[in-house]
Amino acid sequence: TVQRPSEVQESRLLLPIVAEEQPIMEAILLNPVVIICGETGSGKTTQVPQFLYEAGFGMPGSDNPGMIGVTQPRRVAAMSMASRVAHELSLTSSKVSYQIRYDGTVSPDTSIKFMTDGVLLRELATDFLLTKYSVIIIDEAHERSINTDILIGVLSRVLKLREDMWKDGKDGAKPLRLVIMSATLRVSDFAENKALFPLPPPIINVAARQHPVTIHFSRRTSSDYVNEAIRKVGKIHTRLPPGGILVFLTGQNEINGVCRRLEGMFGKKALSNRNLKTAVISPTDTISHVALNQADIEAEEMELGFDGLEEIPSGDEGDEFDVDDLESDDDGRALDEELDLIAAETESFVHIVPLYSLLPSDKQMKVFATPPPNSRLVVVSTNIAETSLTIPGIRYVVDCGRAKERCYDISSGMQSFQVTWVSKASAAQRAGRAGRTGSGHCYRLYSSALFEHHFDKFTQPEILRTPIEGIVLQMKSMHIDVVANFPFPTSPDRNMLRKAEKLLIMLGALGSPTAGLVAGASAVGGGITALGKSMALFPLHPRFSRMLVSGQQHGCLPYVIAVVAALAVGDPFIHEEGLATDDDGDDSSSEAVRARRKAYFQTMATHSSLGNSISDVFKILSVVGAYEYAGGGHKFCADHFVRLKMMEEIHKLRSQISNIIEASFLGTSAMFTPQLPPPSDLQLKSLRQLMTSAFIDQVAIRKDLVDQNTESGTQYSMAKGIPYRAMGIDEDVFLHPSSVLASASPPQYIIYTEVVRTSRAWLKGLTMINPS
Ligand code: ADP
Ligand code: MG
Angstrom distance (rounded) from CA 657 to CA 65: 36
- Using an 8 Å Cβ cutoff, are 547 and 564 in contact? yes
Give the nearest ligand 1 atom to 206 CA: 3
CA 607 to chain centre: 30
Give the nearest ligand 1 atom to 42 CA: 3
Please give the helix or strand (H or E) that residue 540 lies within, else none. Answer: none
- Using an 8 Å Cβ cutoff, are 402 and 422 in contact? yes
436 alpha carbon – ligand 2 mean position (Å): 14
Number of residues assigned to the chain: 772
Give the nearest ligand 1 atom to 83 CA: 23
Please give the helix or strand (H or E) that residue 138 lies within, else none. Answer: strand 133-138
Res 278: pLDDT: 40
80 alpha carbon – ligand 1 mean position (Å): 10
- Using an 8 Å Cβ cutoff, are 41 and 230 in contact? no
Angstrom distance (rounded) from CA 467 to CA 447: 33
Angstrom distance (rounded) from CA 147 to CA 471: 9
Residue 585, CA distances (Å) to 223, 294, 409, 578, 581 in order: 20, 15, 33, 12, 7
Res 323: pLDDT: 26
Least Cα distance to 122 among 463, 462, 474 occurs for: 474
307 alpha carbon – ligand 2 mean position (Å): 19
Measured from the CB, is residue 50 less than 6 Å from ligand 1? no
Measured from the CB, is residue 433 less than 6 Å from ligand 1? no
Nearest ligand to the CA of 50 is 1
Positions of the chain with pLDDT lower than 70, given as ranges? 101-102, 276-334, 343, 358, 360-361, 406-417, 513-525, 576-588, 665-671, 708-714, 758, 771-772
- Using an 8 Å Cβ cutoff, are 497 and 470 in contact? no
Nearest ligand to the CA of 72 is 2
* pTM reported for the whole predicted model: 0.73
Atom 20, ligand 1: residue with shortest CA distance: 84
**What burial letters (b/e) apply to 279-291, b meaning 16+ CB within 10 Å?**
eeeebbbebbbee
Q: Which residues, by Cβ under 5 Å, contact ligand 2, an ion? A: 44-45
Nearest ligand to the CA of 388 is 2
Mutate which of 8, 11, 37, 46 for ligand 1 pocket (most atoms within 8 A of beta carbon): 46
Give the nearest ligand 1 atom to 84 CA: 23
ipTM field = 0.98
Nearest ligand to the CA of 74 is 2
Which tens digit of pLDDT belongs to each residue from 438-451? 899 999 999 999 99
Angstrom distance (rounded) from CA 337 to CA 340: 5
- Using an 8 Å Cβ cutoff, are 99 and 32 in contact? no
Query: In which order are the strands placed within the sheet that holds 112-116?
Result: 103-104, 96-100, 112-116, 67-72, 133-138, 177-182, 33-38, 203-206
Angstrom distance (rounded) from CA 733 to CA 410: 16
